[in-house]
Amino acid sequence: MIDLHTHSTASDGTLTPRALVDLAAAKGLEALALTDHDTLAGIPEAAERARQVELTFVPGIELGASCDGLRDIHVLGYYVVPGDLRLAGALSWLRSCRWTRAQRIVARLNELGVDLTFDQVRNHVTSDSVGRPHVARALVEAGHASSLGEAFRRWLVPGAPAYVEKPHLTMRQVIDLIRGVGGIAVLAHPATLKLDPNELRGLLLTLSDQGLQGIEAHWSKHEWAEACLYEEMANRLGLLVTGGSDFHGSSKPEIELGLGAGKRKLPLQMFKQLQQRWKSQQP
Ligand code: AMP
Ligand code: FE
Ligand code: FE
Ligand code: ZN
Q: What is the pLDDT of residues 59-114, one digit of tens each?
A: 999 999 999 999 999 999 999 998 999 999 999 999 999 999 999 999 999 999 99
- What's the CA gap between 217 and 34, in Å, rounded? 18
Residue 92: phi and psi, rounded to 5, are -65, -35
Question: Is 152 touching ligand 1 by the criterion CB < 6 Å?
Answer: yes
C-alpha of residue 280 to centroid of ligand 2, in Å: 31
- Please name the residue whose Cα sits nearest to atom 14 of ligand 1: 133
pLDDT level of residue 283 (50, 70, 90 thresholds): confident
Question: Is 157 touching ligand 1 by the criterion CB < 6 Å?
Answer: yes
Contact present, 200 and 233 (Cβ < 8 Å): yes
C-alpha of residue 170 to centroid of ligand 1, in Å: 20
C-alpha of residue 48 to centroid of ligand 4, in Å: 22
Atom in ligand 1 nearest the alpha carbon of residue 37: 2
Considering the chain, what percentage of its residues have pLDDT values greater than 70?
A: 100
- What's the CA gap between 58 and 80, in Å, rounded? 9
pTM: 0.97
* Top mutation candidate among 63, 95, 132 for ligand 1, by most atoms within 8 Å of CB: 132
Q: For 114-167, how does the pLDDT look when each residue is reduced to its tens digit (9 = 90+)? A: 999 999 999 999 999 999 999 999 999 999 999 999 999 999 999 999 999 999
- Please name the residue whose Cα sits nearest to atom 1 of ligand 1: 131
pLDDT at 82: 87
pLDDT at 282: 85
> 12 vs 38, 162, 185, CA distance in Å?
11, 19, 21
